[in-house]
Amino acid sequence: MALNTSLPPEFDRGVVTTVHQGDCHVSAAPDVTFSTVLGSCVSACVRDRVANVGGMNHFLLAEQSGSAKDRYGASARYGAFAMEQLINKVLSQGTGNKANLEIKIFGGGKINSVLDDVGAKNIEFVRQFLIDEGYVSTSEDLGGTYARRVLFKPHSGRAFVKRLDSEVGASVAREELAVARRRVVVPTVVDDIELF
């Protein structure tokens, strides 16, 4: 991981796929870069270092609250599902050996006082999740009072983090606040049947 302001050349070419809240993408292609912007959100980058397969997720809330959890099941917006989904996808497309995984975690900034430090809760969640599952993060850039852009090359495992200025951070904070207030449940598709 590099903490820098200028983009390394390898991140400036190829296919860039944006990873939005609730997304989980996996690839083995050498020319693919995953990109996301994080405020309070957390993103994990998981890679099978033997198979050169990796992926990135992006979640805002560590867990569902009360009735939403009981009524709708898991949504990729929520941490446990997002982490399990990413790890399982990398394992299934890679060697299937958990010992070959390297995990990098990013985000969890306190960029909006209204969100009651969701970032700190997300950091606590992702660290505890990794401990509970027997993983150790190989690299991380967590916390702070700023938004950040994260770029990840799933084939090589290289990550690049750029801390963003306060204007961009304020925009990210507004978007996260809107999502947190809505707590919209993303429909789950099972065997071509859309469940709500």
Conformational region of residue 139, where left means phi above 0, alpha means psi within -120 to 50, and beta covers everything else: beta
Please identify which of the residues 24, 41, 62, 118 carries the catalytic annotation.
41
41 is catalytic: yes
* CA distances, 196 to each of 82, 84, 85 (Å): 18, 21, 19
For 106-158, what is the HEC assignment? Answer: EECCCCCHHHCCHHHHHHHHHHHHHHHHCCCEEEEEECCCCCEEEEECCCCCC
- Which residues are designated catalytic? 41
